[in-house]
Amino acid sequence: MSDGTTTTDHDPTPGARDSELKRSITGRLLYFYVLGDVLGSGIYVLIGLVAGAVGGAFWIAFAVGVTIATITGLAYAELVTKYPQAAGASLYVNKAFRNRPLTFLITISFLSASFAATGSLATGFSSYFAEVWDLPPALLVTIVFILVLSIVNYIGITESVVVNMLMTFVEVAGLVIVMGIGLWYVVQGNADFSVLTDFEAEGSPIFAIIAGVALAFFAMTGFENAANVAEETINPSKTFPRALVGGMLTAGVIYVLVAMTAALTVDIPVLADSDAALLEVVKEGIIPVPVGVMTILFACIAMVAITNTTLVAVVTQSRILYGMAREDVVPGVFAKVHPQRRSPWVGLVFSFLVVAALLVVGDILVRTSGTDVVARLATVTVVFLLFIYALVIISALKLRGQDEHEDSFHANTPLLYVGLLGNAVLLVYVVIDDPTSLIWVAGLLALGVALFLVEYFFGRRDRPSSRPRGELDDIKGA
């Protein structure tokens, strides 16, 4: 529990600097932080869309997405061990290129991706919520959901991470239930394994897999959020690589097994048309438990899982704003920390308002044009993240030999090039497949431009005089 003091635990890691944030996240907590964020960020929400894009072989899309994302995670692990500070990708790109406009672009792209992902997850939460209670309007459910998570994060980072770990156990239990249903189905001799190699989508299977990977990639996002709590992690040089890669690989194995179970037990068109696709596995009534009871139980578990991921996104948004305010990229007001809670409260309030606005706009579009808000916001998230991931990998390669110490982690170089190619191919495909997503991308970037202009014209008056000067000060006039 926060005690209101400003003392920061000593950390011997080279590259670490004095911080107002509390260093209290252990390696074990970070592992569950990563695992919980990745597990809930798509498998409960987007599995139906991936199945519709590929067919019964959609588990392959998850496997490929896991591989590309994990390689990207290696680049993050290397950079975090050298620069264990808040701000994540923005900091790494700034270190590599020393280009303020590019740093700003990465910052606002990551924020925009997080905002879009939060909106998509909140909408998915309301779909499962409707399976249990159907009284409140979906829009009200989503906004209250985000507000509650913002309040939890305001209470403190340690409390948020502990809550995250507890919810991780619940969401893993939900996926174990799904895999248990699949195992029961196989033991009974009812499984038709040929469906696992079936491509029902029109056209080439290769393009079907790419389409599925583009959606499945959203399910593997979230690991990058961990980089933004590096400044609050104990001994990040040793704990971060193991926690990050371990959490991603664990999540990846679970994803592939759950995808296979869903394909074996539920008709693909049913999965594709469902807003709560994993619930369809439970509704099949395969195990000898009343379907009604299992439906309510699993819907509650799914809500916990989505809550877990969304909580991490809310944590990330405020930490990015805090970190980059200290680097003079966004207005200094975002560097304000509550004197007792030690939470970046201005960033929390701003993030809540932006996500609420996205949800309102999405609700209007659903009512007027029938737009699938979950799919659209997920696509917008992927566009931003693929661009960011590619630049992070380039930054890791460019910074080789700089700021290294005996505890620095080194990612495999050929793997990084494979990851760079994979991110680039997916980015091109997503943009060509859904060009209208660029309108949403432009809208969120316009918000970032507004922040940039405020900092550019009023930043020196807005900057807290006691705040440490940032990395960008020495290039501000460049």
Ranges of each domain in the chain: 27-470
Q: Any residues with CB less than 8 A from the CB of 281 and at least 6 apart, and which?
A: 178, 181, 182, 261, 262, 265, 266
According to DSSP, residue 469 is labeled P
Query: Do the Cβ atoms of 428 and 107 come closer than 8 Å?
Result: no
Spacing of C-alpha 373 from chain mean position: 17
What percentage of the chain's residues is helix, strand, coil (to nearest 5)?
Answer: 75, 0, 25
Q: Which residue spans within 88-195 are E strands per DSSP?
A: none
Please, which pLDDT band fits residue 172 given cuts at 50, 70 and 90? confident
CATH architecture of 27-470: Up-down Bundle (1.20)
Mean pLDDT (whole number) for 441-470? 68
- Predicted confidence (pLDDT) at residue 373 exceeds the cutoff of 70: yes
- Predicted confidence (pLDDT) at residue 250 exceeds the cutoff of 60: yes
- Predicted confidence (pLDDT) at residue 359 exceeds the cutoff of 80: yes
Please, which pLDDT band fits residue 23 given cuts at 50, 70 and 90? low
C-alpha radius of gyration, the chain, whole number: 21
- Predicted confidence (pLDDT) at residue 231 exceeds the cutoff of 80: no
| Residue 370, helix vs strand vs coil | coil
* pLDDT tens for each residue of 178-192: 999 999 999 998 889
Please, which pLDDT band fits residue 158 given cuts at 50, 70 and 90? low
Q: Tokens representing 103? A: 């740093």
Mean pLDDT (whole number) for 368-394? 87
User: What percentage of the chain reaches a pLDDT higher than 70?
Assistant: 86
- Predicted confidence (pLDDT) at residue 238 exceeds the cutoff of 70: yes
Which pLDDT score, from 0 to 100, does residue 389 have? 92
- Predicted confidence (pLDDT) at residue 17 exceeds the cutoff of 70: no
Helices 236-265 and 58-82: crossing angle in degrees, nearest 10, is 170
HSE toward the beta carbon, residue 49, CA cutoff 13 A:
23
Please, which pLDDT band fits residue 459 given cuts at 50, 70 and 90? low
According to DSSP, residue 87 is labeled T
Which pLDDT score, from 0 to 100, does residue 341 have? 65
Please, which pLDDT band fits residue 388 given cuts at 50, 70 and 90? very high
* pLDDT tens for each residue of 37-79: 777 656 887 888 888 888 899 999 889 988 998 899 899 989 9
* pLDDT tens for each residue of 404-429: 877 778 889 999 999 999 999 999 98
Among 6-15, 173-182, 361-370, the range with the most confident prediction by mean pLDDT is: 173-182
Which pLDDT score, from 0 to 100, does residue 40 have? 62
Residue 241 and residue 81: Cα distance in Å, rounded? Answer: 8
Mean pLDDT (whole number) for 102-118? 85
- Predicted confidence (pLDDT) at residue 239 exceeds the cutoff of 70: yes
Mean pLDDT (whole number) for 112-135? 87
Please, which pLDDT band fits residue 478 given cuts at 50, 70 and 90? very low
